[in-house]
Amino acid sequence: MECLTDTSSPKPVLLPNAEVLEMLQRNVKNNKHRLFKIQEAAKRNKKKQHGAAKKQVIQVDNKFKHRDWIEEKVLQYLKRTPCVQLSTNKIDELKFKCSGIKRRSSALQRTHRDDKRLRQSKSMDAAANDDNATSYGLTEAETLQVLNFMPKEPVEIHLMVEELHARMSEDQQSEFLSMVQSYSKHHNSKNKKNRALDTTEGTEDYENEIVQEEEEEEEEEEDKLDAEEEEVEDAVDVSTVNAEEEEDLIAEEECDKIIVKEEQVTI
């Protein structure tokens, strides 16, 4: 597994959990696709050797089974943490507002060369040019904690930011929490609903329609997460073989050999 580092320093790049989650989702999907292709190739080879008449038990040696298992378990854990509320295309913008660090490491840039990263960079530049964009001067480690846990209450940032009272007044703490929550998917969904209600007559029927739409979106998101979890749980572990089926196959082959020998002796 590649360790991301800055070109000017061997120090590893610190990635927020939201980016790790995105990387693991891609890796797990690729791992399952790779194993499926290997298994299908093994099945074709077995059919060529033994024919399609006999029941075949396919055993594939997965050299990366421990790595794959770890990635799946970490992915399942991260899906249940607050980092899922942060969109990856908003990470740099929020990071800049927390710490004032604008430049991304070149190692990470080489890893993500796609349109999403381009939009992310433009979003960060827009935040830097905004007169109202405020940096709270957090360290890189403190910013990482904020990105990972998306705090909602003052007590949470007390555990993330050292000497908080000396660095932020109570009003600034409230502003900081509001700013962080403005990047939450759940918060943005609520704002969308409120804006829709403000631009209409606010009738009960329309409000119910908006509420229903909100519930459907939440259910769709939950179904998506459940489907991904089931897909991981139901993935076939091609590195092992069912012991009973393997024993049955061996016994069947031994019986065939014995029958052939008896026929030869009889002849």
DSSP 169-203: -HHHHHHHHHHHHTTBHHHHHHHHHHHHHHTS---
**Which among 57-71, 110-124, 146-160, 239-253 has the top mean pLDDT?**
146-160
| Angle subtended at Cα 14 by Cα 13 and Cα 17, rounded to the nearest 5 degrees | 135
Q: Which residue has the higher pLDDT, 244 or 176?
A: 176
User: Exposed, middle or buried, 80 (CB in 10 Å: 0-12/13-18/19+)?
Assistant: exposed
State the chain's maximal CA–CA distance in angstroms.
Answer: 100
Q: Which residue has the higher pLDDT, 249 or 244?
A: 249
Q: How many CB atoms lie within 10 A of CB 197?
A: 15
| Angle subtended at Cα 15 by Cα 65 and Cα 140, rounded to the nearest 5 degrees | 150
pLDDT at 35: 86
Question: Partners of 184 in the beta sheet?
Answer: 86
| Angle subtended at Cα 195 by Cα 191 and Cα 197, rounded to the nearest 5 degrees | 120
* Rg, C-alpha atoms of the chain: 27
pLDDT by residue (tens digit) across 194-238? 555 455 545 556 566 666 776 777 777 777 777 766 665 665 554
Q: Which two tokens mark 108?
A: 């990470």
pLDDT at 168: 93
Instruction: State the span(s) of the chain assigned CATH 1.20.1250.
Output: 88-182
pLDDT at 102: 59
Average pLDDT taken over every residue of the chain: 75
Q: Which two tokens mark 251?
A: 């016994």
pLDDT by residue (tens digit) across 100-133? 865 444 344 444 445 555 555 555 555 555 544 5
Residue 19 has pLDDT above 80, yes or no: yes
pLDDT at 253: 74
Is CATH 2.60.40 the right assignment for the domain spanning 88-182? no
Q: How many CB atoms lie within 10 A of CB 17?
A: 21
pLDDT at 259: 74
pLDDT at 190: 57
Nearest of 81, 85, 38, 30 to residue 58 by alpha carbon: 38
Task: Tell me the C-alpha distance between 186 and 197, whole Å.
Answer: 17
Q: Which residue has the higher pLDDT, 33 or 246?
A: 33
Confirm if 84 and 21 have CB atoms less than 8 A apart. Answer: yes
Those residues whose C-beta lies under 8 Å from the C-beta of residue 57, and which sit 6 or more positions away, are: 241, 242, 245, 246, 249
pLDDT at 238: 47
Q: Which residue has the higher pLDDT, 255 or 189?
A: 255
pTM: 0.58
Question: Partners of 199 in the beta sheet?
Answer: none
pLDDT at 103: 47
